[in-house]
Amino acid sequence: MINPTIISHLDETEKGWEGCLSVPGIRGQVPRYREIEVEYGDRHGNIHRQVFTDFVARIVQHEADHLNGIVFVDRVETTRDLVTEQEYQKLISVD
């Protein structure tokens, strides 16, 4: 997926846990669009349009943000939505 551009999205967002190798030791609840339509190129120069939903839509939004210098901690609504990796591991083991 080369130069992805989110060309449309549903207004509905959902918070979900994210982490990132660029921000080690921290996890956060990040709001993302549940459904996005993305235009991107492939390695052969072909242009594609594809709809992604839920977890895959979250990944594409996270990675597309990187291309624009944005990391997930920039997207959390409040610092209360940030936890350490240790706290995160406790939280998901209870669920």
Catalytic residues: 63
76 binds Zn ion (CB under 5 A): no
Q: Which residues of 21-46 are buried (b: 16+ CB within 10 A; e: fewer)?
A: eeeeebbbbbebbbebbbebeeeeee
Contact status, residue 4 vs residue 40, Cβ threshold 8 Å:
yes
Contact status, residue 4 vs residue 51, Cβ threshold 8 Å:
no
Per-residue interface string for the shown chain with Zn ion, residues 19-58, x marking contact by CB under 5 A: -x--------------------------------------
Using the minimum distance from each CB to Zn ion, give the nearer residue, 15 or 49.
15
Using the minimum distance from each CB to Zn ion, give the nearer residue, 47 or 67.
67
73 binds Zn ion (CB under 5 A): no
Using the minimum distance from each CB to Zn ion, give the nearer residue, 9 or 18.
18
Q: Which residues bind Zn ion (CB under 5 A)?
A: 20
